[in-house]
Each structure stands twice: as structure tokens, then as C-alpha cells.
A and B are shown apart, each in its own frame.
Chain A
């Protein structure tokens, strides 16, 4: 169980957080103009990387803020934590 450095609260136990899946998938601004395939790409397609992955996390039992996290799924090493809207770091 990892320790996550919430950008608003600091280091907290993983049990306080929930994972929201892959990060940096923008909701299309004009969904009506997308084909079924393009919409499906947004709606369903997610990467499942063994290695460095960019993820959304929520401090659900804390400040309730969403933020992004870079985690290596093969060893759970957390490379970076950054606020929503901030540029993803280069890993």
C-alpha cells in the first residue's frame, strides 16, 4: 500500500485515495461532431501500461481534490504528483 503525496495535504496513506484511471483524456468540446468511432475512442479506449502511466487520483477521504500522478505500474514507484491543469512532467 503506497504513500501518496497529495498536492494539497501532503503524504497520506493510499487508503484515503481512489484512482480515477488514465489521465489527460480530454472530454471532447463538440461531441456531436464526432463519429461513433471517434466518440468510442474517448469513451472506452484506455491504455493499460506495464510501466510508467499517467493517472487521475482523488483524495476521496481527505480534501476530495482530484490531481494527477505518474506511477510505474510494474513496481508502484510514484514519479510525480501534480495538480489538475498543470503540465505533465517529462518522465
Chain B
């Protein structure tokens, strides 16, 4: 056993040695230790350097509030994790921990120079200093600041761990496994309610589990012993799930809570393999009982951050839970009774201890206990300074003046190797406020406590402001019974005795003889903000707590100000002369403690990140070397390179083939909606801009759909299959939105219409064959069918049979070529496709992808919704007046087409652009200007589509330009980074304006 492991406890198994390294050096601890308790047992307090001044910092607490002891775990491996609190991580064999924010080493840190120049780097230093010269920011200041900023190092490789999500429902969820949580869970579970109890530590019991003082008696036993028995009884209850190592991350409305369970974080590396690391529980609870406990406050005095200064209750936990003494010559500095338990416990183990108390006296049992033992107490005193750079060596104390605002008398120096501090307790109201609850300020002990009574959750125990054992016990029992409508519990008649604190005193910033500007009284230990910084912020005019927080960064570190927020508020209130209750608090946002990204994402990584949709022909595309592009969730062939062709070469070849002979496109991804009902025609009349009533059965028509604001929303061809039966196609990406929009109108605006919509996108596969030889290929596929213009004209459809399978042939065209689309049940899609390829072989049928499709339609000036439109284009802007019915009384968006804004003549309008140099291809998205001399440039439009057309042997582009309709022939410019490109506004139909090819 080491010098500091002075006590045997039931929580640490001292027969099982565990070895670990810290900063490369090997140490030993025991099973049951945390990294912090194991380090302390080896006499190590110095574990890190502070963020800004690089001051040596030691372990300060024993839980999630820890601001200083944050480590890099398993550095230089895939599993490395930064900013892990040493006070929370359970020790395992082979754990490698290292300190952060120090260089070259923890013991000698160059950054420590910041501490010496600290008078020159107050709050807002960075904001104020690095303002000029402006040009220095990007090249000099920012890289330098980035080098010295930050705490740990992010992992650089993919996370090899597995994370999990799980949904859970229960009648009662109890948050916190301390004494009030245990009482609550037992009452609930004993009354046949499905109960879950979560606790972030590895065992239940909270701080009562190591409360072994004779002044705290439950049912004639010491409180810890009574609780131990309760826990073993609790574990026998059937309808109670106990989840240890599980911390609540978020408490959302309607009792929806997220909790993170550590499953293998505490296991040695060789035992972690393959198991889930962390699980995120998504819990929906009927009732929630918050028993989150309280966090001990530090005291704010000069140099209150030295290694060896630890919260008093944490000192007790290290002693009575882990068996580790944090020092052999202790001083306790307190403003309340709870620290006396620590003193008594230290004394009883033969460890030297003295007490400094800012109060004039305290007449409680526990204080009497300490006095009776002969522990020296300095009443009405405060610490004014501490000494010892890497470990505390001594302190100086002085008497407080009558009102506590100043110090009097002589300084008195006392030697020590550990200073335990206690500034009272702060209820953990985070959960309550996250759920929407409000807070009240309680003047007597200066705490915020939950106020509003919610029907669905209550707060019990110290998070509700009940600090004394007796009131915790009684109030919890009464509240839980009322909350759950229960008459009796096994706790009703149990007697509880405890020491009662009668004298209370709180001073947020303890007085000193040295002027404030020269003291270092830390409030936020992790972000290095001091009382001086807060006061500076107030002097500089920041009044709101939220502004002071951001200016000084108080409470903004990874510990989210669990130790610092109350003091910041207190000092603001005192300085500004206002009541603390009126200041309010900063907002408590989830998560309560940091969550790993892995836990948030769960299994949705890699191929589970998003749904991938593939057409039934996908395998053929893969085998034929297709490169794919993502269109929504669909994988669409982008182009089919042959012999190392690049995108441009492949597209030029595909485009030429489609116009010269035959091309084939997998068009299965287009959205398809089956529309039936006696009002189907009327419905189409209302949702499309053009008229539908007179469309003959067996005919197809192109339609444009607007939003109610008149802007183009979607387009596609709809086919009339029967009297009351249509098949609508939509854009690939717009399919689900269009269906939702149509459903919305049907259900809410026009419920009187007899129309039924069914999404059939996945039901049919579509092969689209185009080009002058397409008719011959179709004839080979369907020898019995007459494909002449007379019997099968453009924009019509016919049923057909191929290989005994029914299919539909639509003669429609998105390329301007003679073109047929064959729709067949999806399961036959690949076979149909292969038949088409085979039949087209003699015409060198060429499969083409989306890029070629885009090029071919651009040659014809056909728009793509979402590429040439952006939600601000009306059909008039697109020069598609022809499709807007003048006769129809109404359709979606009609009225908006003549609002004052939509009839403006200087709206951006679709035009064609030709570059003066026919080989120059414009960049899509490039801005267009009319005057090069005028600066700044007035941007009058932008390029929406741009290609090199192999069929025209020149560059072509579509663009939207302000007032473009009237600019045909005008010279414009596209300024690029290193040149200006001269362009001429042209017609946007570049090829076959007479539509001859469609009937070729």
C-alpha cells in the first residue's frame, strides 16, 4: 500500500492491483478506483495545466463537475479520447492517460509564461488585441492562437467502437441513485410500477454511502449502513431496472429523456473487443423523479487553484470510499457544517486536520463533535493567500471584519499539504430546467431551487434544496407518495437523526488585503476566469449574465460551469448591487455532461448512414462500369466510361450516339404517382398550370406544377390511362414532396374531390430509348406493334407485351429525339433492359447517364426544376407562358402570377448564353454582369446549366438574367477569378427549334 492509501473500504478491492500509466510513467491502483483516486493514492495532485495561464492544476473534485483533471486517454491509438475527466473514468488494466494543454511537459510548461504576463491578458484580451493590422489575422494571429488553443487532441482516425441506441418505456424513471433516489425507486417499484433507476456512478448510494458519522442515524444505524441494506433489498425487486454507469444527458418535454450508458468503457482493452462501448437510452417515462443531488461549491479567494486544493466532500469520498488520503496535513476551509464531517473522518483516521470557518460560530452537533475531538477551529477567518507552485504548501489566514466585507488583524500562516474547501451546496437543477421548469432563489442559503410544480415530474432530495438527512428522508417520502398516489410506504415510520446547521453565512468573493487587480481568485477553473474578469466585464458595460458569461467565458468550458456559475452570478449581483434572484441564471442546455458523437449517432454510420435506393437495373450498370451520382437517396448512373474515358469524353460520346443512332437511359427513378377517381381530371386541372379535361385516353401531356406563390415547384409528363385513371411522373428528387403536397390539398382544401393517390415509383422500372433508330429497336422488341406516327404518335401511350409480360410504352421525349419509354413491373426491369440492349446492338445502342441526359435536354432548352429554377422562378420567367392556361378559372399559384412582384419586367428570366469563344465552357453558378467598368460589379444573373455540345460543336449555356427576355443578342460578361468571359444572350433552344427530330 502506498503512503496515501490509508484506509480499507468495501468499494475498492485492495487484493486486485491494476496498473496504468500517466504521462508515460507506470503506476498502480486497485479495482474500484477511478483514475483520480489512483493518482491521489500515488501522491499525484498535479494533473494538468490551465487553459489560458497554464497554471499547474490538480484534482479538485470526485465527479462530473471536475474542471481540472481532464486527460487524454489512450493517446496515439484509434481509441484515443480527449477531455476525459479523471474523476469519472474507472481504472482498468493498461489504461494510458496523459495530461493536456502543456508543452513540453506537465512539470515544465512553456505556456506558464502566460501566468507571468497575466495582468496584460484580461477578459476580452483576444477580442481587443488581435483587431489590427487587419491583414495579420489570417496569416499570423489565427494560426498562432489555434496552435495554443484547445485542450485535448481529437482522434484522427475512424472510431472503431460500436455504439447503440435503445428505446425504453416505463411508469417511473428515477434519475440519481443517492438516498433520495433509492427511497423514490423503492416506493415506486413496491407499488407495481415499472421503474427504472439510473445512476452515473458504478454503484448506488450517492454521498450517503460513505457517510459514517455517528451524528447521522437512520433507524438506529449509521446512515451508510442503513443505506447499504436498502440497496441490497432494492436489487431484489422484480419491476425495478437499475442502470448504473448511466448518466442522464437530456430531459426533453413530455418526459422524453436521453441517458448514456457506459458499457465497456471501464473494461481493459483486451476485454472490450467487439462489445458495444456506449448505449444511448431513449426513455419515455410516464413520471419522472429527479434525484440528481447537489454539487459542492468552492470558495473564491486569492490563489484558490493550486494543486492540493480540493472540495471538502470529495476529500471525504477519497478517504471513506476509495481509502485514499488527499493529504497528511489537512486544513479545511468552509462556510458551512458539511465540511466538518470530512474533518472528523480525517481526525478519526489519525490524520492531522485544522479548520478555518468564515462563520463566528456554529452550534450544531457535528461541529460540537469536532470541537470535542480537539480539532483546532479558526472562527471568523478567511484564507487570503496560498503558497506552493505545483502543490500547496501553506496558507495565510486573517480575521474577517464585522460585516465580512474586509479582513482585519494580522496574517497567520499555516503549513499544509491539502486544503479542503467548501462553499456550501448547489442543487443540480439542470434536469428540472431542461424540462422547462422554472427556478426560485432561496435567500437563506443562496441557492436556486425548482419552483413550478409539474404534473409529470418532481425533484427530490438535495437537487430540490433539501440538504439535511432528516428533511431529505421525510420530504422525499411525502412527495413521492403524493406524486404517485400512494398512501403508505415502508419509510413512513423510520426515525432519522442528524446534525442540523443553524448558522449560515456566504461571501461570494472573500475579502483580501491585496487590491483586487493583483489577486488571482479563480471562478471558472477550466477557462481561467477570475473574479477580476467578471468585474471588468461589468465595468465595460456588460449587464446581462448571458453577456458576461460569453465575454469572460465563465461557465463555457467542458464542465459547463458546474462549479463556477453560482459564484459568477453572486459576484455580479454584489458588484451591481442587485438581488441575485432578479438576475436569473444562464440557460442550462443538454447534455448535462459531454456526450460522445458515437453515442449520438449510434449504428447510423457507414452504409447505415442513410437509405440507398437502387433501381432493378442497378446491377447491370455496375457490371457495365457506370459511375454513379446520388440523386436524393437514389444511385443513378452518371456516365459509362469506356477505356479510361473521363467524364467529359464519355459524355461527348454518349451524347453524340443518342442523337446519331440510339441511346438508352434508366429512368426508373422518376417519381410516379397513380391517380384514380371520378374527379381525377378536375384535380389535375387544379394542380397543373395547363388544362387536362380534354386530354384523350391514351395520351400524354407535360405539366408544370407551381407553389401557391406562383413559383415552379415540379414538372413531368402525366398519361391518361383511362377515363378516371392517370399516371403522373415527377422529378426524381421531388417525388415524395409532390405526393405530400397533393395529399395536403386533397385532404384539407378539396376533401369533396373523389381522387386517390398512390405512390408507384418503386413499382415500375423504366427504360427510355431515344435517337433516330429507336423506332427500329422498338419494332424488334415488339414485332406485332405498329409504331408509325399515325397509330402511335408523339405524346401517346400503348399497352404492350414483351416475353409474356405486360408493359406500357409511352412515346415521350426529354431529349428532343424520337423517343420511347417502356414501363414494366420492377421485377422484370433488368430483363427488359437487357432485351433492349440486345435489340439495339446492331444500332450501337449506347447507355447514357444523367450527365448526358442533362446535356441533351439543354441543347433543346428543356429546364430541370431545381437546376434552372430555384424556387424564385415563375413559368413566365422561364418563358413558358405557353403552358399557363388563360382559360382556367383557378389552379395552384395562378393568382400569384400577376402580383405586383411577379409581373415586374426586371425579374431574372431564362435565356441562352453563347460564349464568344465556342470552346470556352462557362462554370455553372458563375455570375453575369453587363458592365465591367462599374465596381463593385452589379450581378444581374447567373449561369444555371453549361455544357460543350458535341452535336453543335460549341459551348452552350442556360442562365437566368434580369430582364433577359429582351436582351437577345446583347453582349454580357462572366467575370472569373483570372479572366472575363465574353458571352452573347441567345435563344435558349439551341438545337432543332422546329421539333423535326421528334418525328424523325
Residues of A within 8 A of B708 (CB): 27, 43
Contact residue among A1, A14, A32 (Cβ-Cβ distance under 8 Å from B895): A32
Q: How many residues of B contact A (CB 8 A)?
A: 22
Residues of A within 8 A of B900 (CB): 36
Residues of A within 8 A of B895 (CB): 28, 31-32, 34, 39
Instruction: Provide the bound-state CA to CA distance between A62 and B569, in Å.
Output: 48
Beta-carbon contacts under 8 Å, A32-83 to B: 32, 34, 36, 39-40, 43, 56, 58, 60, 64-66, 75-76
Residues of B within 8 A of A75 (CB): 253, 436
Instruction: Provide the bound-state CA to CA distance between A42 and B743, in Å.
Output: 20
A–B pairs, 30, beta carbons within 8 Å: A2-B253, A2-B256, A3-B254, A3-B284, A14-B254, A20-B744, A27-B708, A31-B894, A32-B889, A32-B894, A34-B895, A36-B899, A36-B900, A39-B895, A39-B896, A39-B899, A43-B709, A43-B896, A58-B740, A58-B744, A60-B740, A64-B740, A64-B743, A65-B747, A66-B748, A75-B253, A76-B253, A76-B436, A84-B747, A84-B748
Residues of B within 8 A of A3 (CB): 254, 284
Cβ of A10 within 8 Å of any chain B Cβ, yes or no, is no
Contact residue among A1, A31, A43, A65 (Cβ-Cβ distance under 8 Å from B252): A1
Instruction: Provide the bound-state CA to CA distance between A25 and B557, in Å.
Output: 47
- In the complex, which residue of chain B has the Cβ closest to the Cβ of A39? B895
Cβ of B890 within 8 Å of any chain A Cβ, yes or no, is yes
A27 pairs with B254, CB closer than 8 A: no
Chain A proximity mask over B831-858: 1 for CB below 8 Å, otherwise 0: 0000000000000000000000000000
Cβ of B268 within 8 Å of any chain A Cβ, yes or no, is no
A76 pairs with B890, CB closer than 8 A: no
Instruction: Provide the bound-state CA to CA distance between A26 and B748, in Å.
Output: 9
- In the complex, which residue of chain B has the Cβ closest to the Cβ of A83? B747
Q: Given A58-B744, A65-B747, do A1 and B896 touch, yes or no (CB 8 Å)?
A: no
Cβ of B933 within 8 Å of any chain A Cβ, yes or no, is no
List 11 extra interface pairs beyond A39-B899, A84-B747, CB under 8 A: A1-B254, A2-B254, A20-B744, A32-B889, A36-B899, A40-B899, A66-B743, A66-B748, A75-B253, A75-B436, A84-B748
User: 4 closest Cβ contacts across the A-B interface?
Assistant: A31-B895, A2-B254, A1-B256, A66-B747
Instruction: Provide the bound-state CA to CA distance between A64 and B896, in Å.
Output: 28
Q: Given A31-B890, A58-B744, A60-B740, do A84 and B253 touch, yes or no (CB 8 Å)?
A: no
A84 pairs with B899, CB closer than 8 A: no
Residues of B within 8 A of A65 (CB): 747
Instruction: Provide the bound-state CA to CA distance between A43 and B707, in Å.
Output: 10
- In the complex, which residue of chain B has the Cβ closest to the Cβ of A32? B895
Beta-carbon contacts under 8 Å, B717-775 to A: 740, 743-744, 747-749, 751
**Minimum distance in angstroms from B973 CB to a CB of chain A:** 36
Instruction: Provide the bound-state CA to CA distance between A60 and B743, in Å.
Output: 11
- In the complex, which residue of chain A has the Cβ closest to the Cβ of B749? A27
Contact residue among A31, A66, A76, A85 (Cβ-Cβ distance under 8 Å from B744): A66
Beta-carbon contacts under 8 Å, B888-915 to A: 889-890, 894-896, 899-900
Instruction: Provide the bound-state CA to CA distance between A13 and B436, in Å.
Output: 19
**Minimum distance in angstroms from B642 CB to a CB of chain A:** 43
- In the complex, which residue of chain B has the Cβ closest to the Cβ of A38? B895
Chain A proximity mask over B251-293: 1 for CB below 8 Å, otherwise 0: 0111010000000000000000000000000001000000000
A84 pairs with B751, CB closer than 8 A: yes
Q: Given A39-B896, A58-B740, do A1 and B253 touch, yes or no (CB 8 Å)?
A: yes
- In the complex, which residue of chain B has the Cβ closest to the Cβ of A56? B748
- In the complex, which residue of chain B has the Cβ closest to the Cβ of A33? B895
Instruction: Provide the bound-state CA to CA distance between A40 and B900, in Å.
Output: 11
A85 pairs with B896, CB closer than 8 A: no
Residues of A within 8 A of B748 (CB): 56, 66, 84
